[in-house]
Chain A
Amino acid sequence: MSSAPSNAANPAMSMISRINIQQYVVYVGFLAIFLFFAIVLKDSGFLTVRNLSNIVLQTAPITIMAIGMVFVLSAGEIDLSIGSTVAVAALAAAVTMNAYGMIAGIAAGIGAGVAIGLVNGLLVAYVRLPSFLVTLATLGLFAGVARSLTNLRSIPVTDSMFTGFFGSGSLLGIPSLIWWTVIAIAAGHLIFRETRFGAHVLATGDNARAASVSGIPVPRIRLAVLVISGALAGLAGLLYAGRLQAAKYTLGETDLMTVIAAVIVGGTLLNGGKGSIVGALVGSLMMGMLNNGLILMGLSVSDQMIVRGLIILAAVAVSLREKLR
């Protein structure tokens, strides 16, 4: 307590101590990886506009899911089920669309995501089961549903308006997947940072008891973040279906770890109370860039996995070091 007044008397010092170095790890890492690939791969087409915009396009579903994951992790929960929600949503959308048209298809896709989020959320918030176990179970459960839904068959998505809207189309010269990314990030950031709901999510993840005695409806917050995550995984499913013009049970299967890594590297804490939407965006672009660069470098699939694992490990270690203070 004795040192506090001197600190307050020196605004410049308190400004500096307020700036948290860990917060910028993701930006520094992003730049470092970018520069590395830009130099090493300058003759392999890494720096072309086409390749760079490809990275953003391919990352769009990851980014969308990462936004949901920021909410979930910040509230002190986790959602592992997004890995299979994507496929269920894409298949539900494709099947419904082929029978009843685009609007019904979109509703079915998002609806499937919301429904899975509701199942997770009700079990976590009101039955008080740990979200790790609940969503681990629903991950498997809905992976099974995705397989049985169409007997492992791939369903074509031919509605050109849909594939334009969610996949290959563009507006004002900007690809629709970039629009989706920008809009989702802007809305996510605004809600997370600037609304009471966002503040309540952080308080719930930080100290659920304190939140509760302060009048924050903790169960409703837990339910809400899992529904948001499910809905956004559903949207990611639509984006995959739109871009690939088909839905298959394998969609999103390998995305779970990428999403969690992107979010953690982006400065969101695994055990709640702190998160960043913009950090998650940069984190997922970093993951996409890594993917892209390692392929262009000509690494074998197994080597890619090893290198990516090591880089994620390093980034996570640096961004979590703060916790060990």
Chain B
Amino acid sequence: MNTQAPVLQLKDIRKNFDAVVAIENFSLDIYPGEIVALVGDNGAGKSTLIKIVSGVYGPSSGTITIEGETVAMSSATMARSHGIEVVYQDLALADQQTVYMNMFLGRELTNGIGLLDRKTMISETEKLVKELDVRIPSAHATIRDLSGGQRQGVAIARATRWAKKLILLDEPTAALGVAETAKVEEIVQSLKSRNIGVLIISHSLDQVFKLSDRICVLRRGKQIGIRRTAETNKNEIVSMITGVN
């Protein structure tokens, strides 16, 4: 299938909070240009897993390997330095700042004398939103003045700007209307051509089947299985999620 090395390998990941086991025996490889969907009921451990991959939690045991190199990630900053970007459910945008300042939030570009290089930040932002077809009035627009879909577009564009290996999308369309969801799905699809891996959490099976190459099912912290999207159907996935045949 994929001749390239995986961008991310999770092996035997286990996470417990004292006596409570949140994730056990979780293994998953994600390849460049691939979209993997992570599905499961509420409380199945999806969020915990996202937090492990994004560096918010360290796993209790197991290894995380990025392009062949085993890494220890103990903070979101470290995950970012490994080329992993997260698009959070609640966006993590600064509402009263401009699109371009959000694009470079915490990683602002400066010129030779340490002053903000707005010109480059603006032109890079314009280039990227155009490439991804995120339709915003301008790079100068204030986030607050944008629609939910536009904001999510900006958040994904930001992740794309910085991700070298992997983008994690946590329910990227949960708060969006029909048309906006379709637009965001289009943007997610276009990430495949950028040769980075995408791990998406979604409650919508329609969306999962539309976007993903593979589907990984979690139930009560256990990995039930991984299916190639083209070789499975909704009934199978639903029964894997619920445990009912």
Binds A, one of B36-44, B103-111, B224-232: B103-111
Please state if B92 and A210 are interface contacts (CB–CB under 8 Å).
yes
Please state if A7 and B137 are interface contacts (CB–CB under 8 Å).
yes
Q: Is A151 an interface residue (CB 8 A)?
A: no
Q: Is A203 an interface residue (CB 8 A)?
A: yes
Say yes or no: A203-B106 contact (C-beta < 8 A), given A8-B135, A8-B138, A215-B77.
yes
Can you list, as one digit per residue, whether each of A146-161 has a CB less than 8 Å from chain B (1) or not (0)?
Answer: 0000000000000000
Q: Is B71 an interface residue (CB 8 A)?
A: no
Please state if A273 and B76 are interface contacts (CB–CB under 8 Å).
no
| A-B CB pair tally, cutoff 8 Å | 91
Point out the residues of chain A lying under 8 angstroms from B234, CB to CB.
none
Please state if A210 and B105 are interface contacts (CB–CB under 8 Å).
yes
Number of interface residues of A (CB under 8 A): 31
Q: Is A14 an interface residue (CB 8 A)?
A: yes
A216 vs chain B, min Cβ distance (A): 5
Please state if A207 and B135 are interface contacts (CB–CB under 8 Å).
no
Point out the residues of chain B lying under 8 angstroms from A7, CB to CB.
137
Point out the residues of chain A lying under 8 angstroms from B140, CB to CB.
18
Which residue of chain A is the closest to B177 with respect to CB atoms?
A1
B45 vs chain A, min Cβ distance (A): 21
Point out the residues of chain A lying under 8 angstroms from B77, CB to CB.
215
**Chain A interface mostly helix, strand, loop or mixed?**
helix
Q: Which one of A1, A214, A215, A273 contacts B149 once the chains associate, using CB atoms below 8 Å?
A: A1
Point out the residues of chain B lying under 8 angstroms from A211, CB to CB.
94, 105-106
Point out the residues of chain B lying under 8 angstroms from A213, CB to CB.
76, 86, 88, 92
Q: Which one of B96, B106, B115 contacts A216 once the chains associate, using CB atoms below 8 Å?
A: B106
Please state if A214 and B105 are interface contacts (CB–CB under 8 Å).
yes
Q: Which one of A5, A18, A206, A215 contacts B94 once the chains associate, using CB atoms below 8 Å?
A: A206
Which residue of chain B is the closest to A8 with respect to CB atoms?
B137
Binding site for A on B (CB under 8 A): 76-77, 80, 86, 88, 91-97, 101, 105-108, 110, 114-116, 135-138, 140-141, 147, 149-150, 179-180, 183
Binding site for B on A (CB under 8 A): 1-2, 4-5, 7-8, 14, 17-18, 190, 193-196, 198-200, 202-203, 206-207, 209-211, 213-216, 269, 273-274
